Amino acid sequence: MNEIWLMIGQRLLLGLLTLFIISVVIFGATELLPGDLARELLGQSATEETLAALREQLGLNDPAPLRYWNWLTGVLQGDFGVSMATKKPISELVGARLGNTLFLALYAAALSVPLSLLLGVLAALWRNSIFDRASNALALTAISFPEFFVAYILVLWLAQTGLFPSMVRITSATTTGDLLYSAFLPALTLTLVVTAHMMRMTRAAIINLLASPYIEMARLKGLSPMRVVLRHAVPNALAPIINVVALNLAYLITGVVVVEVVFVYPGLGQLMIDAVTNRDIAVVQAIALIFASAYVLLNLIADVLSTITNPRLMHRK
Partner 1 sequence: MTILLSIIVGLGLFFLVGFAGRTALQAAAPAHHKPMFREMPLTASFGLAVILFYVAVAILAPAIAPFGEGEVLGAQYLPWAAPHYLGTDKLGRDMLTRLIYGARNTVGIAFATTALAFVVGSVLGIWAALVGGRLDQFLSRFVDALMAIPALIFSLLLLTIFGTSVLTLILVIAAVDATRVYRLARSVAQGIVVMDYIEAARLRGEGIWRLIRREILPNAMAPLVAEFGLRFCFVFLSISALSFLGLGIKPPTADWGSMVRENATLITFGDITPLLPAGAIALLTVAVNFVVDWQLHRASGLKE
Partner 2 sequence: MEKPVLLTIKGLQIEGRSGDAWHPIVKGVDLTLHKGEVLGLIGESGAGKSTLGLAAMGFARDGCRISGGTIDFDGIDLRTAPEAKRRGLRGKRIAYVAQSAAASFNPAHKLIDQYCEGPVVHGVMSREKAEADAVELYRRMRLPNSEEIGFRYPHQVSGGQLQRAMTAMAMACRPDLIIFDEPTTALDVTTQIEVLAAIRDIVRQFGTAAIYITHDLAVVAQMADRIKVLLRGDEVEEADTRSMLAAPRQDYTRSLWAVRSFARAEQPPATGTPVVSVRNVTAAYGAVDVLKNVSFDIHARRTVAVVGESGSGKSTTARVITGLLPPRKGEVLFNGKVLPPNFKARSREELRQCQMIYQMADTALNPKLRLRELIGRPAEMYLGLRGKALETRIRDLLALIELEPDKYIDRLPSELSGGQKQRIGIARALAAEPQLIICDEVTSALDQIVQEGILKLLNRLQGELNLAYMFITHDLATVKSIADKVVVMQHGAVVERGPKAALFADPKEDYTNLLLSSVPEMDPDWLNRLLAARGGHA
- Of the candidates 217, 226, 254, 264, which one interacts with partner 2 according to CB under 8 A? 217
Strand partners, 89: 82
Burial level of 33, CB count in 10 A (0-12/13-18/19+)? exposed
Under the binding rule (CB under 8 A), the answer on residue 229 touching partner 2 is no
Map the footprint of partner 2 across residues 298-317, applying CB under 8 A. Answer: 311-312, 315-317
In this structure, are residues 38 and 54 in contact, taking their beta carbons and an 8 Å threshold? Answer: yes
Count of chain residues binding partner 2 (CB under 8 A): 22
Map the footprint of partner 1 across residues 278-297, applying CB under 8 A. Answer: 279-281, 284-285, 287-288, 291-292, 295-296
Q: How far is CA 293 from the centre of its chain?
A: 10
In this structure, are residues 71 and 58 in contact, taking their beta carbons and an 8 Å threshold? Answer: no
Q: Which does 220 bind (CB under 5 to 8 A by kind): partner 1, partner 2, none?
A: partner 2
Q: Which does 302 bind (CB under 5 to 8 A by kind): partner 1, partner 2, none?
A: none
**Phi-psi sector, 43: left (phi>0), alpha (psi -120 to 50), beta:** left
Toward partner 1, which CB reaches closer, 129 or 224?
A: 129
205 vs 169, 197, 198, 223, 229, CA distance in Å? 40, 12, 10, 21, 12
Q: How far is the CB of 213 from partner 2 (least distance, A)?
A: 4
- Of the candidates 166, 182, 189, 195, which one interacts with partner 1 according to CB under 8 A? 166
Strands (E), the chain: none
In this structure, are residues 115 and 135 in contact, taking their beta carbons and an 8 Å threshold? Answer: no
Toward partner 2, which CB reaches closer, 23 or 236?
A: 236
202 vs 118, 132, 228, CA distance in Å? 9, 13, 16
Toward partner 1, which CB reaches closer, 157 or 314?
A: 157
Toward partner 2, which CB reaches closer, 237 or 281?
A: 237
| DSSP SS3 for 82 | strand
Q: How far is the CB of 211 from partner 2 (least distance, A)?
A: 8
What is the contact surface with partner 1 in residues (CB under 8 A)?
18, 21-22, 25-26, 29-30, 32-33, 40, 137, 140-141, 143-149, 152-153, 155-157, 159-160, 166, 250-251, 253-254, 257-258, 261-262, 272-273, 275-277, 279-281, 284-285, 287-288, 291-292, 295-296, 299
